[in-house]
Amino acid sequence: MNPSPEKRSARRYIHKLPMDLYRMNYQNKHNSYYAEMNDCSDNGLSLMTNEKLVLGELIYLELKNYDPNIRLPIKEQSYSGIIRWGKRYQSANAGTNGLYKYGIEFSTQNVRP
């Protein structure tokens, strides 16, 4: 028995890509943080960042080094989304300790910082 079955219905594409993450509902501040996309699908993506975020929080993402010629389901350079899950990333690599991994569901709300 699989203790934690996948809940996604769309195919996941593994692709690392740097991005700027903006917190939209955090004390009405629009601070930018570095994040890195791990994978994406038609309806969301997962990312790593050292910023602790809140489940349900609305965020805005801008992809860096975006190349529309790469075959990915995401076709825009920026997205808004809602944090659906998060966990502290545990690794044997000391350089990645202190990072958090989050699942983002794309939102139909068009927010910009």
Q: What is the pLDDT of residue 15?
A: 87
- Count of alpha carbons within 13 angstroms of residue 96, beta-carbon side: 11
Mention every residue, 6+ apart, whose C-beta is less than 8 A from residue 88. 99, 100, 101
**Best CA proximity match to 46, nearest among 103, 106, 85, 87:** 103
The reply to whether 56 falls in a domain is yes
- The Cα–Cα gap between 113 and 16 comes to 23
Residue 2, pLDDT score:
41
Mean pLDDT of 90-97: 64
Helix, strand, or coil (residue 74):
coil
What SS3 class is residue 98?
A: coil
More confident residue, 72 or 95: 72
Which one has a higher pLDDT value, 56 or 96? 56
| Residue 5 falls inside a structural domain | no
Listing DSSP states for 56-87 in one string gives T-EEEEEESS--TTS--S--SSEEEEEEEEEE
Domain membership of residue 93 (yes or no) is: yes
Cα(58)–Cα(80) distance, rounded to whole angstroms?
7
3-state secondary structure of 113: coil
Q: pLDDT at residue 3 above 70? A: no
Instruction: Establish if 20 belongs to a structural domain.
Output: yes
Give residue 92's pLDDT band: very low, low, confident or very high (50, 70, 90).
low
Task: Please check whether residue 100 lies inside any domain of the structure.
Answer: yes
Q: What is the pLDDT of residues 5-49, one digit of tens each?
A: 456 667 888 889 999 999 876 555 567 899 999 999 989 999 999
Confirm whether 31 is domain-assigned: yes
Number of domains the chain is built from: 1
Write the single-letter amino acid at 96: T
* CATH number of the domain that residue 91 is part of: 2.40.10.220
| pLDDT interval class at 100 (50, 70, 90) | very high
**Does residue 1 sit within a domain?**
no
Q: Which domain holds residue 68?
A: 13-106
What are 39-82's pLDDT values in tens digits?
999 899 999 999 999 999 999 999 888 777 777 777 788 899 99
Q: Answer yes or no: is 45 within a domain.
A: yes
